Amino acid sequence: MFERINKKVKGFFSSQRMKTLALMLLVGTTAAMAQNAAGDYSAGTTALTTVTEEIAKYVPIVVKLCYAIAGVVAIVGAISVYIAMNNEEQDVKKKIMMVVGACIFLIAAAQALPLFFGIGG
């Protein structure tokens, strides 16, 4: 009975899983020691601040782009609905709802984008 347990224990510790676990523990401990030794995070904080400022510069441009895309979708959708009505197609209501939904989504996204990035009030 003990021999069977001994074989299972030896098999478990010599398995690939156990070797991987030991390697992960070693790498994790080494990384934690290196992080504690560094201790200076000012470079990372400065980089994140710079990236935030750069993204903030592009938000008004993207908002205007969303409005422009909504306008194009509305015009193309209106033409598509007009053609569908003239051809007496079945799903005209569905086309109208899709166009209106797309325009509402684009306008809502343009309104929410500055709030998402914390710009404006």
pLDDT digits (tens, 9 = 90+) for 21-71: 666 666 666 655 655 555 667 778 888 888 888 888 888 999 999 999 999
Residues 82 and 105 in one domain: yes
Alpha helices in 16-41 (DSSP H): 16-38
Q: Decide if 56 is inside a domain.
A: yes
Q: How far is CA 41 from CA 20, 30, 76, 100, 115, in A?
A: 31, 18, 51, 48, 28
Let me know if residue 64 belongs to a domain.
Answer: yes
Q: Per the structure, how many domains does the chain have?
A: 2
For 80, the enclosing helix (H) or strand (E) is helix 42-86
Residue 38 is predicted with a pLDDT of 53
For residue 65, tell me if it sits in a domain. yes
Looking at the structure, tell me whether residues 112 and 62 fall in a common domain.
yes
pLDDT of residue 14: 61
Sorting pLDDT into bands at 50, 70 and 90, what band is 4?
low
Same domain, yes or no: 54 and 107: yes
Among 27-41, 89-103, 105-119, the range scoring the smallest mean pLDDT is: 27-41
Cβ partners under 8 Å of residue 87, min gap 6? none
Asked whether residue 113 falls in the same domain as residue 62, the answer is yes
- Both 58 and 113 in one domain: the answer is yes
Banded pLDDT at 79 (limits 50, 70, 90): very high
Tell whether 27 is covered by a domain: yes
Does the pLDDT at position 108 exceed 90? yes
Say yes or no: 67 and 106 in one domain: yes
Tokens of 36: 């504690």
Question: Does 32 lie in the same domain as 54?
Answer: no
- Cα dihedral: 78, 83, 85, 88 (round 10): -160
Q: What residues make up the domain containing 34?
A: 1-39
DSSP character at residue 40: -
In a domain, 44, yes or no: no
Instruction: Read off the tokens for 121.
Output: 């009030």
Residues 21 and 62 occupy one common structural domain? no
Instruction: Choose between 45 and 83: higher pLDDT.
Output: 83
Is 76 inside any structural domain?
Answer: yes
pLDDT number for residue 3: 65
Residue 29 pLDDT: 67
* Closest to 64 measured CA to CA, from 54, 76, 75, 72: 72
Q: How many CB atoms lie within 10 A of CB 55?
A: 12
